[in-house]
């Protein structure tokens, strides 16, 4: 695993020890960023179920200004911190939290955090990523025009509309699928 493009291009990323985390394959990550970017200009990123932190770090490398990384696994949190130290995203503001995803969202909502780019890559057995997006929509945590990416098992289906999020594209890569949503501030 490595950072594919941007200021940290080519920097290696450590994997989370053990079998509990499934990192995003480089080919899937590259395709994902071609669909949502490929480069950014000061966006705020949320990497929920961060694992290695590879998605958020890639966004920082490509120009995002800041990122919040959340994972419940202490080994994943340590890996995110190590990968951030290795990638050294210049000038980026980063926060790393060990917490349950919903509890973290509630804490971030209380702080008034708002995001432009949201990565949801939960364990494949979990099929409720839409609930996290709905919570963010209902609590004013999403900037108009934001993009949300759900990486999931290709057999899983998510709705076309999640609150004010609309499915823009879904792509399958073997057992993995990527669903990309766009956020409209006003209900259409």
Tell me the pairing of strands 93-98 and 66-71: parallel
In the chain, the domains with their CATH numbers are 31-183 (3.40.50.150)
pLDDT for 143-156, tens place per residue? 999 999 999 999 99
Both tokens of 126, joined, read 């979990």
pLDDT category at 37 given cuts 50, 70, 90 is confident
| Residue 66 vs residues 13, 53, 92, 102: alpha-carbon distances, Å | 18, 13, 5, 20
Tokens of 177: 């699928």
Per-residue model confidence as pLDDT tens digits over 52-67: 999 999 999 999 999 9
Residue 33 has pLDDT above 80, yes or no: yes
Give percent of the chain with pLDDT exceeding 90: 67
pLDDT band at 188 (very low <50, low <70, confident <90, very high): very low
- Which spans in 3-53 are helix H? 26-36
Strand partners, 57: none
Residues with Cβ < 8 Å from 78, sequence gap 6 or more?
none
Query: What are the pLDDT digits (tens) for 109-154?
Result: 999 999 999 999 988 778 899 999 999 999 999 999 999 999 999 9
Query: Does residue 29 register a pLDDT over 90?
Result: no
> Within 10 A of 188 (CB to CB), how many other CB atoms are there?
6
Q: How far apart are CA 188 and CA 186, in angstroms?
A: 6
pLDDT, one tens digit per residue, over 151-182 is 999 999 999 999 999 999 999 988 889 999 99
Q: pTM value?
A: 0.92
């Amino acid at each position: 695993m490595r950072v594919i493009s941007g200021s940290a291009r080519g920097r290696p990323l450590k994997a989370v020890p053990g079998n509990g985390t499934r990192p995003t394959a480089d080919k899937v990550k590259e395709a994902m960023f071609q669909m949502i970017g490929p480069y950014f200009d000061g966006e705020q990123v949320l990497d929920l179920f961060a694992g290695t932190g590879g998605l958020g770090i890639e966004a920082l490398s490509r120009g995002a200004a800041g990122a919040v990384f959340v994972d419940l696994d202490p080994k994943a949190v340590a890996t995110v911190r190590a990968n951030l130290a290795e990638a050294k995203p210049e000038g980026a503001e980063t926060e790393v939290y060990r917490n349950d995803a919903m509890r973290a969202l509630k804490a971030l909502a209380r702080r008034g955090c708002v995001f432009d780019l949201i990565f949801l890559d939960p364990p494949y057995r979990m099929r409720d990523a839409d609930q996290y997006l709905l919570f963010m929509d209902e609590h004013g945590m999403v900037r108009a025009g934001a993009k949300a990416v759900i990486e999931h098992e290709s057999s899983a289906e998510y709705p076309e509309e999640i609150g004010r999020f609309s499915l823009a594209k879904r792509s399958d890569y073997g057992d993995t699928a990527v669903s990309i949503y766009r956020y409209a501030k006003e209900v259409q």
